[in-house]
A and B are shown apart, each in its own frame.
Chain A
Amino acid sequence: GQQLNQSPQSMFIQEGEDVSMNCTSSSIFNTWLWYKQDPGEGPVLLIALYKAGELTSNGRLTAQFGITRKDSFLNISASIPSDVGIYFCAGETSGSRLTFGEGTQLTVNP
């Protein structure tokens, strides 16, 4: 089946630093999504990407959909303690079915 390879698996950074994480796939996706999940909660959508090459920002978050539709990155600028959590990329295929990456655990030290 389809797989999304997400890296890094975990990151430990200082407050104020910028963060970058990415996902790659052997398959093409129609839509690429980035989610954040807090412990014991469901994921919350951060950014949705619909077009190849699209670059979209949401506050301190910026994400880009790769030209080949097989990869994406998420950047977080000037990290703050509440950015702590697990970040997932997800690719959408037919029927709005989502395939999730393995997740990036982000820890921000104050």
Chain B
Amino acid sequence: GAVVSQHPSWVICKSGTSVKIECRSLDFQATTMFWYRQFPKQSLMLMATSNEGSKATYEQGVEKDKFLINHASLTLSTLTVTSAHPEDSSFYICSAMVGGWYNEQFFGPGTRLTVL
């Protein structure tokens, strides 16, 4: 149980285009989903917290107009990288929180974005 999927697993796009990444909780309803970014050989950095039906909360320094997050249901959150540039190339990972006392986050397998 507690499986989180991401789609696509990798994507290559041209500079200036937009890319949408999906995060789904497959066998549970997630009260909250998180989006992280990880550059090569670096740690995971939290970008934003996404709650179903409400606006996402972005971490300091993360442009909300560039990284659009939509959390339309308890099992789906999407991250859209708008007007992507090469410096946006990274590994994007989502996590979904089950809730309850332990509030454990389950991580997706990540999406590798390469912007040419």
List the interface of chain A (C-beta within 8 A of B).
1, 40-45, 48, 88, 95-103
Contact = CB atoms under 8 A, between A and B. Distances in A.
A98 B105 CA distance: 10
Interface string B85-116: 00000000101010000111111111010000
B49 interface: yes
Interface stretch (B14-22, B40-48, B62-70, B72-80): B40-48
Contacts of A40: 109-110, 112
Contacts of A45: 104-106
A43 B105 CA distance: 10
Contacts, number: 48
Contacts of B43: 88, 100-103
Contacts of B97: 96
B32 A42 contact: no
A45 B95 CA distance: 12
A40 B111 CA distance: 9
Interface residues of B, number: 24
A33 B57 CA distance: 22
B112 A98 contact: no
Chain B residues touching A, majority SS: strand
A45 B51 CA distance: 22
Interface string B46-63: 100100000001001000
B49 to A, nearest CB: 6
Nearest to B93: A42
The 5 closest A-B pairs by CB, nearest first: A42-B107, A100-B43, A100-B44, A42-B93, A96-B103
A1 B93 contact: no
Given A1-B60, A88-B44, A102-B42, A95 B110 contact: no
Contact of A97 (B42, B49, B106, B112): B49
B93 A98 contact: no
B110 A41 contact: yes
Contacts of A48: 102, 104
Contacts of B104: 45, 48
